[in-house]
Amino acid sequence: MERPRPQYFIHLEQQVWQALVDGDAEADRSLLADDFLGVYPDGFAGLDEHVDQFASEPTVSTFSVNRPRWIELGDDAHLLCYEARFRRPGSDELHRMYVSSLWQRIDGRWVNTFSQDTPAAT
């Protein structure tokens, strides 16, 4: 099986962000592994906690994925690291953070199994 290029994982990551913009919980769920683990400034989150953030409305209005770097961990695992810039709905404030996102091929499908967000220094 041909190995995906790094741009493929950037595109997958952008789909997760777009789900946040669209408030599309099902799109988000389809991109994450059943045993997804998120590590955030306020603690840990599993799949359900990540998807539950869509319960009331979209959480992001605009985003960009910047300065991507990646590590190929094997045929079935790639770590994508990047700087994210985004705005919340109703706000002009630009937020920045660094994201490490692990994509793994499980049963022939690439899913996000782990993500860690680190707020950028101001």
**CATH code where residue 55 lies:** 3.10.450.50
User: Does 13 reside within a domain?
Assistant: yes
Query: Which pLDDT does position 119 carry in this prediction?
Result: 96
Query: Which pLDDT does position 1 carry in this prediction?
Result: 58
Query: Which pLDDT does position 66 carry in this prediction?
Result: 98
Residue range 1-18, pLDDT digits in tens: 567 888 999 999 999 999
- Count of structural domains within the chain: 1
Grouping H, G, I as helix, E, B as strand and the rest as coil, residue 100 is: strand
Query: Which pLDDT does position 75 carry in this prediction?
Result: 93
Tokens representing 38? 């998120």
Dihedral over Cα of 12, 15, 20, 24: its sign: negative
DSSP state letter for 67: E
User: Does 33 reside within a domain?
Assistant: yes
User: Does 87 reside within a domain?
Assistant: yes
Closest to 80 measured CA to CA, from 40, 113, 37: 113
Query: Which pLDDT does position 5 carry in this prediction?
Result: 86
User: Does 1 reside within a domain?
Assistant: no
Task: Give 37-54 as a DSSP string.
Answer: EEEETTEEEEHHHHHHTT
In this prediction, the residues of the chain whose per-residue pLDDT falls under 70 are 1-2
**Residues of the domain holding 60:** 6-119
d(CA 112, CA 94): 25
- Burial call 89-117: b when 16+ CB within 10 Å, e when fewer: eeeeeeeebbbbbbbbbeeeebbbbbbbe
